[in-house]
Structure 1
Amino acid sequence: MFRLVLNIMGLLWLLLLFPALAHSHGVEGVVAPGGLVATANYQGGEPMSYAKVTVTSPESEKPFQVGRSDKNGRFAFAPDKPGKWHLVFNDEMGHRLDLEVQVDEKGLIGQQTPSSSGSTNLGTKAFFGVGLFMFIASVFLWWQAKKLALKRRLS
């Protein structure tokens, strides 16, 4: 009887300890220098928040890293070799920013070359909108005048 109680207690201890042993691995983290942060903004200064970012390494056409910029238009990556790195910020609404970043052996930026596409300033957009409206109104009025002249000729 005493042996049975010891066996049951031993079994209970094993059942209680087994989950603790199964989940007893640890994790560690380190914050180390060596990363680069790229920032993308629209022409008015507003950040390209949550834009899709693709980073391509100097030796490959395949993406080295893909992700999204943060709320402030920033994206961090850690290059693993020197050379010319290519970053593409795409807000998936027609705005795209291509950056080329020269990284040296120490992971430092030598130079960066930005080129943007698909973005125009607010004045250009307003001018285009007013011009388009005037064109449509002119075509409509011309058509109405032509119909009126044809009606007068027939009567």
Structure 2
Amino acid sequence: MKRVLEWACAGLVLVLCASAWSSAQAHGAHSKPYGGELRAYQFEYALGEPLRRAEVSVYPPDSEQRYVHGWTDAQGVFAFAPDRPGAWRLDVRDGKGHALQRYVRVGAPTSAEAGTTDVERDSVMPGGLIVVLAISLLLNAWLALVLLQRSRAVPPAPGPQDA
């Protein structure tokens, strides 16, 4: 019986870890090119749902002064018209804790950008944090099993009737 309980708890821990991983993946965000002459991007969560009404700030190459500020539409689309070549930075926040930073190359690359590629950073949940949370969950489940076994192994203290 004891072994059955241990295996059942281990199975439960694995199911919980798998469901935590899939829900963590569902909260990621990314973008993909969208549109023609303008630079337009559609921003989505990891499972394809658009980032509706997310705040977007666009910064030109080699500058921290904001070029344009706006919001995505109902499909998660945001467009801007760059006025010079280089790597433009898009900072996107949905107001619910998700943030995305994307660099977009416009025109011919400069000598400083020649060896780089477009970069997208998703600051929702770093992979290392997921690993730490999974390890914590496993250790807590193991501790619960140990405490459960100890509570069953301790014989009851003699009461007044036993004396």
Q: Normalization by structure 2: what TM-score?
A: 0.51
Q: Deviations over 1:90-149 (max 9, x none)?
A: 2233433222112228xxxxx9724232269xxxx8xx78x93x6544423322332444
Q: Which residue of 1 aligns with 2:43?
A: 40
- 1:113 and 2:115 aligned: no
Segments of structure 1 that go 5 or more residues without pairing to the other structure are 1-32, 106-110
By relative contact order (CA 8 Å, sep 6+), the higher-ranking structure is 2
**Aligned residue pairs, count:** 109
Runs of 4+ displaced beyond 3 Å: 134-138
Question: Which of residues 142, 145, 151 is equivalent to 1:141?
Answer: 145
Q: Normalization by structure 1: what TM-score?
A: 0.54
Distance 1:86 1:59 in 2: 10
Q: Deviations over 1:44-84 (max 9, x none)?
A: 22211111211101131122122221111111212222221
Segments of structure 2 that go 5 or more residues without pairing to the other structure are 1-35, 109-115, 159-163
**Bigger CA radius of gyration:** 1
Q: Alignment identity in percent?
A: 30
Superposition RMSD on alpha carbons, in Å? 3.4
Name the SS of the counterpart of 2:75 in structure 1: coil
